[in-house]
Amino acid sequence: MITRRNLLGTAGTGAVLAFAGLRFPEFAQAQGAAAGLTAGVPEGVGSYATMATLPGKKPLILLSDRPPNYESPLEYFRTPITPNDQFFVRYHLADIPEIDPKTYKIKVGGDAAATPVEISLDDLKALPAVEVVAVNQCSGNRRGLSKPHVAGVEWGYGAMGCAKWKGAKLKDVLAKAGIKKEAIEVSFNGADGPVVDKTPDFIKSIPAWKALEDTTIVAYEMNGQPLPHLNGAPARIIVPGWTGTYWMKHVTEINALSKPQGGFWMAAAYRIPLGKFPIRDRFVSQETAVNTPITEIVVNSLITSHRDGAKVKTGKLTVSGMAWDGGYGIRAVEVSTDGGNSWTNAKLGEDLGPFAFRPWSFDFSAKKGKNAVMVNATNKLGQSQTSELIFNPAGYHNNVMQNISLMAG
C-alpha cells in the first residue's frame, strides 16, 4: 500500500531524489491534497497524491515516487495527441539509469534466433522508418475506481496518452538475428532494474505473430522528438492496441524464444480471468485453465471537456472527449442526458488511425440545476462499453460508461 512515507516531502528548497544516476528536482508544491484526482478513487489517495513536476514535464499527479508513477490530469486529454510534456510516467522498478545514445546497444538473440547480434541506435535508425499513432494505456488505468477496492497504483483516468511514434519495425530488427520458424514468443528487457535482488527483473514477451506485425515497432521518436527519458529513451517497444505492460522502455534485449517466457511478470502478473472480457487477441502460449495475459485494450471513452460536478451556464452546451479501443477503430460515440433511457450520436472528429484517440463532441441544452451526461463508445466490431464493472482482482479493463453531473445556473 502506498503511504505518505513513500513520497518525498514538498517543503524545503533544493531537495532531490536520486534514481541510480537520474536526479529529480524538488517536487512541486501540492495544489490541495486531492488536486487533479479523478472523482471516485479511494478517499485515502488524497492524503498522499500531489501535483508535481519532473524534468521536461508539466505538472502530473504523483501517486508514487519510487518507482515513479505519475498520472496525467483530465485536462491533458483535450487534444487527440498528448504532448510529450503532458504524458504519464509509469515504472515498476526504481533503478532507472541515464543512457548515452552514442553507446546504446540492443542485444538481439534468443534460442530461436540464428545469428545473435547487437545493434546501435544508428543501426536502428538506418532501418526503414515507420510511424504509428497509438494510445499507450497502462493495464491498470482506472484501477482506483474499482469497487470493491483492489491493491496497486490507484490510477484514475490518466494512466494513458496518445502519441505519434516513429521507429523501425520489430520484424526488421528480428531479421538481423535470423528469427527461426520455431519462435513462439519474443521477449524484451530494459535498462531499468530492481533496487534489491529479491525483486524480479521486469521482462515481458509477446506472441511471435504479434512481434511480426508491421505496426509493432522499436521507437526512437515520440511526437517528432527523441523519446523523453522518462518515456523510454533511447528506444522502446511499441505494441499498438495492446496495453502498456508490453511497451518496454529503454529496451536493451530482444529475444526470440521457442518456449514461453516464464518469469514473474508473465507467469504471475498482468493476468485476467479467462473468458471474462470480449478479447480477440489471445496469448495462447501463456494461457492456463483459469487465466490469460492481458492483451488488447477494451473499447472506452472519456469526457475531457468537463469534470464531474463542474458549473456551467444554462442553454447550449458542448461536451467533448476521446474514444479508443484495441485497434479495430471507433464506429460511434453516443451520449445520454436522461440516465441512459435514450441515446444520441455524438459528432466524431479527426481519425488519426485505428490505434489513436478519436475525438468526439456533443451539443445539448443544459437546464438549470443538475444535468447528467453519460457516454458510450462502440467499435467497428460492435463492442461497446459496459454499464457495470467487470470485476477482477487486479483492477484491469475498467471501461464502465462514464457518467458525470454538470450544474447549470
- Whether 105-293 shares its CATH topology with 300-408 is answered no
The CATH number of 300-408 is 2.60.40.650
Instruction: State the DSSP code for 265.
Output: H
Reported CATH class of domain 105-293: alpha beta
Digitized pLDDT (tens) for each residue of the chain, 409 residues in all = 333 333 333 222 222 233 333 333 333 333 333 468 999 999 899 999 999 999 999 999 999 999 999 999 999 999 999 999 999 999 999 999 999 999 999 999 999 999 999 999 999 999 999 999 999 999 999 999 999 999 999 999 999 999 999 999 999 999 999 999 999 999 999 999 998 888 999 999 999 999 999 999 999 999 999 999 999 999 999 999 999 999 999 999 999 999 999 999 999 999 999 999 999 999 999 999 999 999 999 999 999 999 999 999 999 999 999 999 999 999 999 999 999 999 999 999 999 999 999 999 999 999 999 999 999 999 999 999 999 999 999 999 999 999 999 999 9
- CA–CA distances in Å: residue 6 to residues 22, 62, 75, 254: 18, 11, 26, 33
How is residue 330 written as a grid cell?
471507433
* pTM of the predicted model as reported, rounded to 2 decimal places: 0.91
Helix (H) or strand (E) holding 266: helix 264-267
Cα distance between residue 155 and residue 141, in whole Å? 6
Question: What is the domain partition of the chain in residue ranges?
Answer: 4-90, 105-293, 300-408
Q: Please give the single-letter amino acid code of residue 314.
A: T
DSSP for residue 227: P
In contact, 84 and 55? CB cutoff 8 Å: no
Nearest in space to 104 (alpha carbons), one of 290, 293, 235, 242: 235
Helix (H, G, I), strand (E, B), or coil: what is residue 172? helix
Query: Quick check: helix, strand or coil at residue 361?
Result: strand
- Asked if 111 contacts 258 with a C-beta cutoff of 8 angstroms, the reply is yes
